[in-house]
């Protein structure tokens, strides 16, 4: 989809707050990172680390967040806002990817801070930025960092070399990567109908709708963080409960998710998708709807976009939705 600015709000974990760095963090940041045991593991940090560089770097992080280029954040304890480290993502727009980095002050090691903070940021990024994968690297001799990445869900994809300012040259590194499937929550149990044949997959029935406004634009909703395939755009809808018709499911889902009232007479069957996922086979009838009551409102915190038919293909969508795009574009 066309790149757009992201409104960033601090991210919470069970124990920490991932927030933009502030000028008042400079002194503590300098104390923590100006430590050889920390700096030697970071590619872009010199050692010794000059005090004024902390002020300059913190100022630059605000500019890069505003430009939607990179998100370098403080890891601060929730109870007292004390800085314990930093984590960040730098985007590559052309490659639809981002690079993850993190560090924790030595006095705070051994508390599971890095996986808690870095995992939270990675999941947020895949759900809210226009990226499909996240990369990371760790020095070959930094087993602790490799363990953190594996614990989050990253896969090791190879080795390479990277320049380290603190070490004055290139060093061997292990390269890691993660996508939506790697960082996704455990999938909810599918609702099968009927019992699958031996060796087959459960059938999951999902109803979806193309809401079309008076300007002939189609509504897409972005799957929020915490759901499988978070960050992908889809037609609104949801699972069909046992004993429920697809039309009744859509009426219920549209009320719950978008706050609008739709009657069955306004839902016109249009097409359907049939797609095999790893754990189930999806059947998804797609309806079209041009009339509803109420204002479309994202009641579950999901991002919404009204899209011209010819622009639909620019939005990253789940595999099951993709074949429907061309049909809908040609029809409209």
DSSP string spanning 220-283? EEEPPTTSTTTT-EE-SEEEPPTT--HHHHHHHHHHHHH--B--GGG-EEEEEEEEE-SS-EEE
State the CATH number of the domain containing residue 308: 3.90.79.10
Q: Is residue 188 part of a domain?
A: no
Task: Report how far residue 46's alpha carbon sits from residue 98's, in angstroms, rounded to the nearest whole number.
Answer: 23
Cα-based distances in Å from 301 to 78, 250, 262: 23, 19, 21
One domain, residues 126 and 159 = yes
- pLDDT confidence band for 196 (50 / 70 / 90): low
One domain, residues 69 and 147 = yes
One domain, residues 124 and 55 = yes
One domain, residues 212 and 141 = no
CB proximity list for 180: less than 8 A, separation 6 or greater:
126, 132, 228, 229, 230, 231, 232
Task: Report how far residue 286's alpha carbon sits from residue 114's, in angstroms, rounded to the nearest whole number.
Answer: 43
pLDDT at 7: 61
**Once rounded to an integer, what is the mean pLDDT over residues 9-26?**
96
Q: Is residue 59 part of a domain?
A: yes
Q: Is residue 239 part of a domain?
A: yes
Structure-block tokens of residue 9: 């709000």
One domain, residues 212 and 178 = no
One domain, residues 282 and 141 = no
Task: Report how far residue 312's alpha carbon sits from residue 302's, in angstroms, rounded to the nearest whole number.
Answer: 18
Give how far the C-alpha of residue 241 lies from the chain's centroid of Cα atoms, to the nearest Å.
27
Tell me the pLDDT tens digit for each residue of 77-128. Answer: 999 999 999 999 999 989 999 999 999 999 999 999 999 999 999 999 999 9
Structural domain boundaries, residue 297: 203-331
């Amino acid at each position: 989809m066309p790149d757009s600015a992201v409104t960033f709000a601090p991210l919470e974990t069970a124990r920490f707050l991932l927030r933009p760095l502030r000028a008042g963090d400079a002194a503590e940041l300098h104390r923590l990172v100006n430590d050889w045991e920390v700096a030697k593991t970071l590619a872009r940090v010199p050692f010794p680390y000059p005090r004024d560089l902390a002020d300059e770097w913190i100022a630059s992080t605000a500019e890069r967040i505003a430009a939607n280029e990179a998100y370098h954040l403080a890891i601060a304890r929730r109870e007292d806002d004390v800085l314990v480290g930093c984590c960040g993502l730098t985007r590559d727009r052309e490659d639809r990817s981002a690079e993850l980095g993190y560090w924790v002050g030595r006095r705070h090691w051994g508390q599971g801070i890095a996986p808690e903070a870095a995992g939270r940021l990675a999941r947020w990024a895949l759900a809210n930025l226009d990226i499909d994968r996240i990369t990371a690297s760790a020095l070959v001799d930094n087993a602790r960092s490799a363990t953190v990445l594996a614990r989050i869900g990253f896969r090791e994809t190879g080795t390479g070399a990277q320049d380290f300012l603190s070490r004055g040259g290139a060093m061997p590194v292990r390269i890691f990567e993660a996508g939506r499937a790697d960082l996704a929550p455990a999938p909810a149990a599918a609702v099968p109908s009927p019992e699958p044949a031996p060796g087959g997959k459960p059938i999951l029935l999902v109803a979806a709708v193309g809401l079309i406004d008076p300007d002939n634009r189609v509504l897409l909703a972005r799957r929020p963080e915490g759901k499988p395939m978070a960050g992908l755009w889809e037609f609104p809808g949801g699972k069909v409960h046992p004993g429920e018709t697809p039309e009744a499911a859509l009426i219920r889902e549209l009320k719950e998710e978008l706050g609008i009232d739709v009657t069955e007479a306004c839902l016109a069957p249009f097409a359907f998708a049939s797609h095999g996922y790893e754990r189930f086979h999806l059947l998804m009838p797609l309806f079209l709807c041009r009339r509803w009551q109420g204002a479309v409102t994202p009641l579950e915190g999901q991002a919404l976009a009204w899209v011209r038919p010819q622009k639909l293909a620019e939005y990253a969508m789940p595999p099951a939705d993709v074949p429907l795009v061309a049909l809908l574009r040609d029809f409209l």
